[in-house]
Amino acid sequence: MKTWQKLALPVALSGAVLSGCTTMDAFTGESQVSNTSKGAIAGGLIGAVLGAATAPKEERAKRALIGAGIGGVAGGGVGLYMDRQEAELREELTGSGVQVVRTEEGQIDLIMPGNITFATDSSDVKQEFMNTLQSVAKVVQEYENTLVTIEGHTDSTGSDSYNQLLSERRAASVAEVLLAQGVAFERIAAEGYGEGRPVATNDTAEGRAQNRRVEISLEAIVADE
């Protein structure tokens, strides 16, 4: 079985869970999914999102094209597509503290420092940052032919193993917000790098604050030709 097929399994499984874990609403007579079942389905999708990070970009793109029912961007139109997406993100994120960076490879990186995203030693997204992530989701929803890769990072405080898990939980928390806003899970991958990719010194409080961050990378899905 190919990687993208394995990663598509949670969608089929979630359908099975939905059919087997419904209850009857006494007032409407209609079936509804229990809160427990919803949590299990969300957990399965988050697991798939975390697992997707191990797949090659080509496999992820194929999975998105098939699973999310999108057509991809024609090769010659990728630059303009990303230009427009970048412009909308800059407009939506003005004053948010998020850095919007266009790389030499043409992807868009959203750099979100820890001081605006998470409290120290926490993987719960700050309530005041929810609107910012919802703005990101709004643009990502509009530009549906985009792969979304979420990376969690920590400073060097604490053990390597603890920081690795914390970075993964933070990436998963951001992914959960995007999923809740309707972004197709086939387009999202989340991974944690612990303290292994610092962008500043860990010897100062300012440097550690920069290293505690989440980055979202956006890349165009090119249509099969």
> For position 31, what pLDDT does the model report?
35
Q: For residue 104, give Cα distances in angstroms to 101, 115, 148.
A: 10, 27, 18
Could you tell me the residue range of the domain that residue 106 belongs to? Answer: 75-220
- The tally of domains found in the chain comes to 2
% of the chain residues with pLDDT over 90 = 51
> For position 225, what pLDDT does the model report?
60
Q: Checking phi first, is residue 101 left (phi over 0); if not, alpha (psi -120 to 50) or beta?
A: beta
| 142-176 residue pLDDT tens | 999 999 999 999 999 999 999 999 999 999 999 99
Kindly report the number of other CB atoms within 10 A of residue 123's CB atom.
Answer: 19
pLDDT at 207 over 80: yes
Residue 65 lies in a domain: no
Examine the domain organization and report whether 165 and 210 are in the same domain: yes
Higher pLDDT, 84 or 47: 84
pLDDT at 217 over 90: yes
pTM of the model: 0.78
Examine the domain organization and report whether 49 and 109 are in the same domain: no
